């Protein structure tokens, strides 16, 4: 949002950002969230010479932490970001492996039996 306002589509009156999302049936019966950010009508875009903190966070952490995917594209007509995130009930894909099979009650953070 900050970069769009400073340098991208939202830095000019005619610029626009479309944010759309949808849920789809994913692997192993989990739903998947697909989120799309598309900028149009702003100044011409060129790929950055270096990735900032936000871009690195989106492109590296999302796949690692949530088993999802993130693609940021710098087309001359505007930046696009597409995210795919598998959803689970009160957790994330791979949580049980990280926590050694124990799941935690979100309200109290006390361990409870997996299952």
pLDDT value, residue 15: 96
pLDDT value, residue 91: 61
Token pair for 63: 């796949």
Strands 31-40 and 111-112: unpaired
Angle subtended at Cα 84 by Cα 81 and Cα 86, rounded to the nearest 5 degrees: 155
pLDDT value, residue 55: 87
pLDDT value, residue 67: 82
Token pair for 29: 């019966």
pLDDT value, residue 45: 94
Report the predicted TM-score, pTM, of the whole model to 2 decimal places.
0.71
pLDDT in tens, the chain (115 residues): 788 999 899 999 999 999 999 998 877 777 889 999 999 999 999 998 998 888 888 888 888 888 889 999 999 999 999 999 888 766 666 667 777 655 444 444 445 554 4
pLDDT value, residue 26: 73
Alpha helices for 1-115 (secondary structure H)? 2-6, 53-56, 62-66, 95-98
- Residue-wise over 83-114: b if at least 16 C-beta within 10 A, else e? bbbbeeeeeebeeeeeeeeeeeeeeeeeeeee
Spell out the domain ranges in the chain: 2-88
Are 112 and 58 in contact by the 8 Å Cβ rule? The answer is: no
């Amino acid at each position: 949002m900050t970069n769009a306002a400073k340098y991208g589509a939202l830095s000019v009156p005619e610029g626009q950002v479309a944010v759309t999302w949808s849920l789809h049936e994913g692997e192993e019966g989990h739903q998947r969230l697909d989120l799309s950010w598309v900028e149009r009508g702003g100044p011409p875009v060129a790929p950055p010479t270096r990735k900032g903190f936000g871009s690195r966070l989106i492109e590296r952490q999302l796949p690692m932490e949530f088993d999802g995917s993130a693609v940021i594209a710098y087309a001359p007509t505007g930046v696009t970001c597409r995210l795919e995130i598998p959803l689970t009930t009160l957790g994330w894909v791979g949580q049980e492996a990280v926590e050694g099979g124990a799941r935690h009650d979100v309200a109290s953070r006390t361990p409870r039996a997996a299952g």
